[in-house]
């Protein structure tokens, strides 16, 4: 007899570390796949990734809301309106002739093996984490034009804003590559063909690689623009210093001539 598991992955609005999740939710998280830790209670799973995404598998809606409230998310009932999240139904069908089947509408598993459920949670979490970076980058794009307009005049404060902006872009790029783990498959998949198929199919449907390349391309363009703007500021800064030096030399000459004629 088939059964339906719900899956909800949410990007937590404030950063947590593993032991905080364990303390607040009174659970012990085990090492799963790469950067995913999980807790299993009967046929429910809680999966936490170190890029701050929490996934609930087969949880009752009210129980999930109560868990989020324990984490300090007081408006958990407004999940769809206020937070970055994705949900995906998982159908457990013992009559399925293959191990798993993935489509845009749902994932079908022959049996709810923990490994497969954690793989699904990891990929959906990566999609949610990538969406967070996509939204952050959209905000940076809006700010970038304002910062580039600052190059029309020179001021040290404006230069510091550009440097801070460039630092934020570097942090986003580093986080995408090191935290989301999108460029490499989890090691365990090399020894499990069926698990690898599930990971690949779901990654393909969610377009993780394509989305990552688009975000990286935008980041590269932004960094190039900011780098050019900083070069312009540095050039203006050099000119500014040169004029100060010329002014000081001129002042010294005038003072010298005044002393000469006074004597």
> In the 8-state DSSP scheme, what is residue 27?
-
Give the tens place of pLDDT for each residue, 64-96: 999 999 998 877 777 777 888 899 999 999 999
pLDDT greater at residue 220 or residue 58: 58
What local confidence, expressed as pLDDT, does residue 118 receive? 94
Structure tokens at 255: 């003072």
Residues in the chain: 263
d(CA 100, CA 228): 50
Q: At 130, list the tokens.
A: 């990538």
* Three-state DSSP state, 107: strand
> Of 42, 14, 6, nearest to 27 (Cα)?
42
Q: Select the highest-mean-pLDDT range: 24-33, 155-164, 221-230, 242-251.
A: 24-33
Pick the closest to residue 201 from 91, 106, 86 (CA basis). Answer: 106
**Residue 152 predicted with pLDDT over 70:** no
Return d(Cα 45, Cα 121) in angstroms, integer.
9
**Whole-angstrom distance, CA of residue 113 vs CA of residue 116:** 5
Asked if residue 117 lies in contact with residue 168, where contact means CB atoms within 8 angstroms, the answer is no
* 3-112 classified as CATH 1.10.150: no
Q: What is the DSSP letter of 204?
A: H
Which residue's structure tokens are 């540095």? 234
Where on the phi/psi map is residue 192: left (φ > 0), alpha (ψ -120 to 50), or beta? beta
Task: Copy the structure tokens of residue 142.
Answer: 């809006």
Q: What is the pTM of this model?
A: 0.79
Q: Give the DSSP letter of residue 113.
A: -
Cα 151 to chain center, whole Å? 29
Q: Domain-by-domain residue ranges, the chain?
A: 3-112, 123-235
> How far apart, in whole angstroms, are the C-alpha atoms of residue 63 and residue 221?
44
Average pLDDT over residues 53-72: 93
User: Could you report the per-residue pLDDT of 166-202, keeping only the tens digit for each?
Assistant: 777 777 777 776 666 666 677 777 788 888 889 989 9
């Amino acid at each position: 007899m088939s059964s339906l598991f719900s899956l909800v992955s949410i990007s937590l609005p404030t950063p947590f570390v593993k032991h905080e999740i364990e303390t607040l939710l009174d659970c012990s998280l085990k090492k799963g796949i790469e950067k995913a830790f999980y807790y299993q209670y009967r046929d429910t799973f809680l999966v936490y990734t170190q890029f701050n995404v929490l996934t609930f598998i087969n949880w009752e809606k009210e129980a999930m809301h109560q868990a989020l409230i324990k984490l300090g998310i007081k408006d958990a009932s407004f999940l769809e309106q206020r937070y970055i999240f994705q949900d995906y139904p998982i159908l457990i069908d013992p009559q399925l002739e293959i191990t798993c089947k993935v489509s845009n509408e749902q994932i079908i598993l022959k049996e709810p093996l923990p490994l497969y459920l954690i793989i699904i949670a990891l990929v959906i979490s990566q999609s949610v984490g990538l969406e967070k970076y996509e939204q952050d980058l959209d905000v940076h794009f809006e700010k970038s034009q304002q910062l580039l307009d600052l190059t029309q005049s020179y001021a040290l404060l404006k230069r510091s804003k550009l440097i801070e902006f460039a630092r934020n872009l570097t942090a986003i790029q580093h986080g995408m590559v090191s935290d989301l783990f999108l460029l490499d498959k989890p090691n365990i998949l090399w020894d499990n063909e069926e698990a690898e198929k599930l990971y690949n199919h779901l990654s393909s449907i969610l377009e993780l690689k394509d989305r990552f390349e688009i975000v990286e391309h935008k980041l590269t363009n932004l960094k190039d623009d900011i780098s050019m703007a900083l070069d312009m500021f540095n050039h203006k800064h050099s000119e500014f210093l040169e004029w100060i030096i010329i002014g000081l030399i001129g002042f010294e000459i005038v003072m010298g001539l005044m002393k000469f004629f006074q004597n």
